Amino acid sequence: MSKKKNQNEDTIKNFKKAISDFLSLLSEKKIPFLISVTSNILSTFLVVAIPWVSALAIDDIVSIMNDTTVTNKWETISSFIIKPVSALGIIAILIFVLNYLQEYLSAILGEQIAQSLRMKLSSKLTKLPMNFFDTNQVGDILSKVTTDIEKIAEVIVTGFTRFIYSFLIIVLVIIMLLRIDVKLTAIVLGILFISVIVTYFVSNITQKIFAKNVTTLSELSTITEEALTGNLVIQSYNKQKDILEILDKSIEEQYSAGKTLEFTIFSIYPSIRFITQIAFVISAVMSAILVINGYLTLGLAQAFLQYVTQISDPVTTAAYIINSLQNALVSVERVYDILELPEEIDLAEDTHLLDDTRGQITFENVSFGYTKDKLLMKNVNFTAKAEQMVAIVGPTGAGKTTLINLLMRFYDVNGGRILFDGVDISKVTRRELRANFGMVLQDTWLFKGTIAENIAYGKPDATREEIIEAAKLAKCDSFIRKLPQGYDTIITSENGMVSQGEQQLLTIARTILPNPKVMILDEATSSIDTKTEKDIQAVISQLMKGRTSFVIAHRLHTIKNADQIILINDGIIEEQGDHNKLYGEKGHYYEMVNTQERAKKWMIKEDSYGKA
């Protein structure tokens, strides 16, 4: 399945639109682009002019040498060659200046367009609905933001200018060759055409070899990363030999792919160039014969050979240049696939309908599904009164997290409505709505920065005193002060500076700093040990006072004191009430509680046996 996807992504779906989008990117920097193209065109014309100027000078010198009436030949030749030599010097200087200008502008143009695309994508990603992130892999999104943009920038800097140069040089040189000798030109072009055909086939083969090399290298990197990060597990299960065998196999595959690629580059490419050299040799021999027989001047013969040299490289590299342009167009198409996605629809301005909130939430006949014919939630009705604790339970995939996603307007309902203090949340901007919520998730996310910056993430203008007060409420002030730089210690989720439980306490501090009216805890303690869970539960219980709270939990003993427990199964509320009511009904909730209690007793019994 992934292979098929990759194949499709390597081809252009709409060539005309991809070209249009690429040109629209270039038009954003119209002036530097036009100057760069103009410089490229002018320098190409001057490059083509050099052999012709040289030919005229050589023919003048030969005519002087053959003229018996000229007594002082060297003095006459010196006076004749001043103009062509001066012209060639001026042309060389102009080519240098124009090429420098073109390269400089192309480099700036490529980076500016890359910067512009990154800014557009960054802005776009903040406006896309949650469905986009749920249905697209992070790696694919990152690839578009990084690799694809780099390809576009690279082709603007080098590929596009090389394409213009190659196209012009081929056209202009063919004109000049035909002007010198039509038959000789036909022979040379025939040989070069063979070179083009060979290059085309080799180019396709090389692309496949290159793709295989990249794939094997990527696989080797993945296996190596897994071996390093999972080293403890590998040693625990004595799998060192197995992982070495897997690594050896991957290294061998990468070596084979890399060797094949190197052979292609360093062996086949010279073979292609050998064909162009044949064209040069035949041109030299034929030109010499024509000069000897008086059909061609010496100057035009050397010009012809220079033109053959000039046209050889663009002809043989044309397939590769076109291939790089095609790759860039694929990247343009992939980037614009994101840029042209419909954005999350929201109101134009803050409505300020949620001022002075109490925190009462009501679901009225709410239905939802990613597609209208497959509803995940059907006719859900309940009310969470202000300052109540509402627990949401049910089997995996029942719709617990979906309910929270609807409440936060990560998705909009297909039917019914959700009310916040009697106000339909669809009438409120997402920004205003979400400002009233605080979320503590199972996965603790901390960005690279100081502890103070992480806590103040939801309230960047918070004072140090407010940050410390939030940390004290979340019971994390004490361990923060033990860190090397205290609140100014740089942390991330991966650096191991703080434990999993401490990370969870930091996210709680971050949640309560803006003082939200509604708290959402999505299995916030399911990935930590029992003792830490008790400590965090004590903090959470304290923080939920005076706030409406929604708690998603698999460990049912943590929500026995909830004011209301909602059991969802297959998108439908099956049971609703407090713990005593639901337990007394001996339904699904009753079975879930008893199952967990039996499991808990079994674990305690096993633990006692282990200690004995």
Give the model confidence (pLDDT) of 208-223 as tens digits. 777 677 678 767 877 8
What pLDDT is recorded for position 8? 47
Q: Are 76 and 65 in contact (CB under 8 A)?
A: no
What pLDDT is recorded for position 417? 92
Q: If you average pLDDT over residues 191-201, what whole number do you get?
A: 78
What pLDDT is recorded for position 297? 85
Q: What is the largest CA-CA distance in the chain?
A: 129
Phi, psi values for residue 485, rounded to 5°: -115, 20
Partners of 550 in beta bridges = 390, 520
Q: Amino acid identity of 337? A: D
Average pLDDT, the chain: 81
Which residues 6+ apart lie within 8 Å of 39 measured at CB? 98, 99, 101, 102, 105
- The number of beta carbons lying within 10 Å of the beta carbon of residue 122 is 10
What pLDDT is recorded for position 609? 47
> Position of tokens 């018996």?
68
Radius of gyration of the chain (CA): 36
415-420/377-384 β-pairing: unpaired
Separation of alpha carbons 607 and 602, rounded Å: 8
Separation of alpha carbons 170 and 260, rounded Å: 32
Separation of alpha carbons 21 and 116, rounded Å: 14
Q: If you average pLDDT over residues 64-86, what whole number do you get?
A: 68
pLDDT in tens, 329-371: 888 888 888 888 888 777 656 666 777 788 899 999 999 887 7
* Residue predicted with more confidence, 108 or 529: 108
* Long-range contacts (CB closer than 8 Å, 24 or more residues apart) made by 35-41: 35/101, 35/105, 36/101, 36/102, 36/105, 36/106, 36/109, 36/161, 37/164, 39/98, 39/99, 39/101, 39/102, 39/105, 40/98, 40/102, 40/161, 40/164, 40/165, 41/164, 41/168
What pLDDT is recorded for position 364? 92
Separation of alpha carbons 501 and 487, rounded Å: 17
Whether the CA torsion 385, 391, 396, 401 is positive or negative: it is positive
pLDDT in tens, 380-428: 899 999 989 999 988 877 788 888 888 888 888 888 999 998 889 888 8
Q: Are 422 and 356 in contact (CB under 8 A)?
A: no
Of residues 321, 300, 310, the one with CA closest to residue 279 = 310
Residue 496 has pLDDT above 80, yes or no: no
Separation of alpha carbons 561 and 542, rounded Å: 13
What is the 3-state composition of the chain as percent helix, strand, coil, each rounded to the nearest 5? 65, 10, 20
Q: If you average pLDDT over residues 522-544, what whole number do you get?
A: 67
What pLDDT is recorded for position 420? 92
Strongest mean pLDDT among 150-154, 175-179, 283-287, 375-379:
175-179
* Poorest-pLDDT segment among 79-83, 87-91, 299-303, 360-364: 79-83
pLDDT in tens, 568-611: 888 888 889 988 898 888 888 888 888 877 766 665 555 544 44
* Long-range contacts (CB closer than 8 Å, 24 or more residues apart) made by 151-155: 151/327, 151/328, 151/331, 152/22, 152/25, 152/113, 152/114, 152/117, 152/328, 152/331, 152/332, 152/335, 153/110, 153/111, 153/113, 153/114, 154/110, 154/324, 154/328, 155/324, 155/325, 155/327, 155/328
Separation of alpha carbons 360 and 511, rounded Å: 19
pLDDT band at 524 (very low <50, low <70, confident <90, very high): low
pLDDT band at 236 (very low <50, low <70, confident <90, very high): confident
Q: Are 128 and 339 in contact (CB under 8 A)?
A: no
Residue 264 has pLDDT above 90, yes or no: no
Separation of alpha carbons 275 and 297, rounded Å: 26
What pLDDT is recorded for position 3? 41
What pLDDT is recorded for position 43? 93
Give the three-class secondary structure for 601: helix
Strongest mean pLDDT among 46-50, 199-203, 597-601:
46-50
Separation of alpha carbons 562 and 3, rounded Å: 49
Q: If you average pLDDT over residues 316-341, what whole number do you get?
A: 79
Separation of alpha carbons 591 and 393, rounded Å: 13
What pLDDT is recorded for position 603? 53
What pLDDT is recorded for position 497? 74
Q: What is the 3-state secondary structure (H, E, C) of 186-225?
A: HHHHHHHHHHHHHHHHHHHHHHHHHHHHHHHHHHHHHHHH
Please give the DSSP secondary-structure letter assigned to residue 374: B
- Token pair recorded at residue 497: 């500076």
Partners of 368 in beta bridges = 377
Residues of the chain with pLDDT > 90, as a percent, come to: 10
Half-sphere exposure for 232 (CA within 13 Å, toward CB): 1
Partners of 438 in beta bridges = 519
- Token pair recorded at residue 489: 């210690």
What pLDDT is recorded for position 172? 92
Q: Are 209 and 257 in contact (CB under 8 A)?
A: yes
- Token pair recorded at residue 134: 């749920």
Q: The pTM is what?
A: 0.68
Separation of alpha carbons 503 and 352, rounded Å: 34
What pLDDT is recorded for position 465? 92
Q: Are 101 and 32 in contact (CB under 8 A)?
A: no
